[in-house]
């Protein structure tokens, strides 16, 4: 999968965005630069949530949260959210995300629906979230007719290659103003493609960022006194991570990935021993050797039962406390583990402010690291770092307004 182009006419701070990414470029690493407030984080969040959530009902709430406040002009009846072009093996697939009200949708489908005799069906009932309420409310009426008309509407949408995603408002009393989100995709096997795409899109960001896909009330909690509760901003962020497998934060949760990788290496070595009558493999040792490349005069010390880990100094075997460790070293180590442990390959990887905690030399080096760790991936790096931008050609660097000023010597 490769993100070729993204267009966003008007979403929050994003205005008239139109950015292309050249699939023939090597490395497939594209810094995305602007000054603060340019919308870099917002753009990555929008791309990720749209592509990661549309085929998963348990993730739709994140999409609704992100689009909170995105309203259409009721007179026009429609508003374009984003157009995203994806290169998939040998073809470009265009995804047009748009919102509309029932009146616009009725006009769009009028000819198709008139020809099959659909008149009074409430179009918002095509969404899975409306199914139970609608069918319960008409259980004493002609349910068979309702289901037949619903099937006709669904077929009319399929004919136009339009996939319903969700409703964005719940004004069932005034259904003409209800806003709905759709994706137009010119593929007969749209659901299969979108499901495949949802597994090939990843997003990494700092945990302290105000993630726009949390609920409005949760976002407000960030600017309140912190509660000792699992329902505060950070508690809800952790809950959200469990439902978004493609989402990673630059924090110490990556320890889980690290320990699980050692368990996998141990199990591979044991399997090899069984298959060869006692000749253990060297997967465990290779993993240790690889990790030690990221540490300066330190080494990983795994508990014998693989329940945890510490770090020790090479020279005198001193065990280190967390405050003795370099944040930059740990971040580089954990990003590596995130990519390797999750076997992220042939994917679109969005990374926000990767340079935080890195020395300028390491900001430059991380581009080479990403290329080595996952050469088949495309990386889009929202950044303020001149060093990351200078690690690739100027043509690789994409810009949002307001642009970063020229670097002064």
- For position 380, what pLDDT does the model report? 98
Same domain, 191 and 54: yes
- pTM (predicted TM-score): 0.86
Domain around 70: 2-198
Same domain, 112 and 6: yes
Give the DSSP H or E segment for 165: strand 162-167
Flag whether pLDDT at 140 surpasses 80.
no
For the stretch 81-138, pLDDT in tens is 999 999 998 899 999 999 988 888 888 887 666 655 555 566 767 776 555 555 555 5
Same domain, 178 and 264: no
Same domain, 324 and 260: yes
Same domain, 53 and 163: yes
- What DSSP letter does each residue of 272-310 carry, written as one string? HHHHTTS---SHHHHHHHHHHTTSSSEEEEE-TTSS-EE
For the stretch 151-187, pLDDT in tens is 878 888 888 898 989 888 755 556 567 888 999 998 8
**Residue 208: inside a domain, yes or no?**
no
Which of 156, 173, 198 is the last residue in one of the domains? 198
- For position 289, what pLDDT does the model report? 86
Whether residue 27 is preceded by a cis peptide bond, meaning omega within 30 degrees of 0, is yes
Average pLDDT, the chain: 84
Same domain, 169 and 303: no
Same domain, 112 and 259: no
Same domain, 7 and 126: yes
Same domain, 187 and 293: no
- For position 147, what pLDDT does the model report? 73
Same domain, 299 and 364: yes
Beta-bridged to residue 313, according to DSSP, are 298
The pLDDT-based confidence of 407 (bands split at 50, 70, 90) is low
**Residue 302: inside a domain, yes or no?**
yes
- For position 81, what pLDDT does the model report? 96
Handedness of CA 391, 395, 401, 406 (dihedral sign): positive
Flag whether pLDDT at 80 surpasses 70.
yes
**Residue 89: inside a domain, yes or no?**
yes
**Residue 334: inside a domain, yes or no?**
yes
- For position 6, what pLDDT does the model report? 98
For the stretch 205-232, pLDDT in tens is 987 776 777 787 777 766 676 555 556 6
Flag whether pLDDT at 392 surpasses 90.
yes
The pLDDT-based confidence of 8 (bands split at 50, 70, 90) is very high
Which of 198, 213, 236 is the last residue in one of the domains? 198
Contact (Cβ atoms closer than 8 angstroms) between residue 392 and residue 367: yes
**Residue 136: inside a domain, yes or no?**
yes
Same domain, 35 and 184: yes
Same domain, 174 and 261: no
**Residue 307: inside a domain, yes or no?**
yes
- What DSSP letter does each residue of 31-59 carry, written as one string? EEE--TTSSHHHHHHHHHHHHHHTT-GGG
Residue 351 belongs to domain with CATH number = 3.40.50
For residue 328 the two structure tokens come to 């930059």
The pLDDT-based confidence of 50 (bands split at 50, 70, 90) is very high
For the stretch 254-307, pLDDT in tens is 677 788 888 999 999 999 999 888 889 899 998 888 888 777 788 888 888 888
Rounded to a whole number of angstroms, the distance between the first and last alpha carbons of the chain is 39
- For position 155, what pLDDT does the model report? 81
**Residue 222: inside a domain, yes or no?**
no
Which of 198, 217, 243 is the last residue in one of the domains? 198
| Number of domains composing the chain | 2
**Residue 226: inside a domain, yes or no?**
no
Of 7-16, 31-40, 189-198, 290-299, the poorest mean pLDDT is in: 290-299
Flag whether pLDDT at 246 surpasses 80.
yes
Flag whether pLDDT at 342 surpasses 80.
yes
């Amino acid at each position: 999968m490769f993100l070729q182009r993204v267009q966003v006419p008007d979403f929050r701070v994003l205005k008239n965005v139109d950015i292309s990414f050249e699939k023939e470029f090597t490395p497939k690493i594209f810094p995305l630069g602007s000054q603060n407030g340019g919308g870099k984080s917002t753009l990555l969040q929008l791309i990720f949530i749209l592509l990661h959530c549309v085929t998963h009902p348990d993730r739709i709430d994140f999409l609704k949260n992100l689009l909170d406040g995105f309203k259409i002009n009721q007179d026009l009846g429609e508003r374009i959210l984003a157009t995203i072009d994806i290169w998939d093996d040998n073809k470009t697939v265009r995804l047009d995300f748009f919102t509309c009200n029932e009146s616009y949708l009725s006009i769009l489908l009028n000819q198709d629906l008139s020809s099959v005799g659909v008149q009074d069906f409430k179009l918002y009932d095509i969404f899975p979230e409306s199914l139970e309420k609608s069918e319960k409310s008409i259980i004493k009426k002609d349910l068979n007719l309702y289901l037949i008309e619903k099937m006709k509407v669904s077929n009319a949408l399929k004919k136009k290659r339009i996939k319903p995603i969700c409703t964005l408002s719940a004004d069932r009393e005034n259904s003409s103003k209800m806003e709905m989100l759709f994706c137009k995709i010119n593929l007969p096997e749209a659901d299969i493609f979108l499901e495949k795409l949802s597994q090939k899109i990843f997003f990494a960001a700092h945990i302290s960022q105000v993630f726009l896909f949390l609920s409005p009330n949760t976002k407000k909690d960030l600017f309140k006194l912190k509660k000792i509760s699992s329902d505060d901003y950070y508690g809800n962020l952790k809950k959200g991570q469990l439902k978004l497998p493609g989402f990673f934060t630059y924090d110490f949760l990556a320890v889980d990935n690290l320990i699980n990788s050692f368990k996998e290496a141990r199990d591979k070595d044991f399997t090899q021993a069984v298959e060869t009558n006692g000749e253990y493999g060297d997967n465990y040792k290779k993993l240790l050797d690889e990790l030690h490349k990221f540490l300066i005069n330190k080494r990983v010390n795994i508990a014998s039962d693989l329940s945890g880990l510490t770090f020790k100094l090479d020279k005198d075997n001193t065990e280190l406390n967390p405050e003795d460790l370099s944040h930059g070293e740990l971040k580089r180590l954990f990003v590596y583990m995130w990519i390797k442990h999750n076997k992220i390959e042939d994917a679109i990887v969005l990374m926000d402010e990767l340079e935080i905690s890195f020395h300028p030399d390491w900001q430059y080096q991380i581009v080479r690291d990403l290329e080595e760790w996952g050469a088949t991936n495309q990386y889009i790096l929202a950044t303020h770092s001149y060093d990351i931008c200078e690690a690739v050609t100027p043509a690789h660097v994409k810009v949002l307004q307001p642009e970063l000023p020229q670097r002064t010597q």
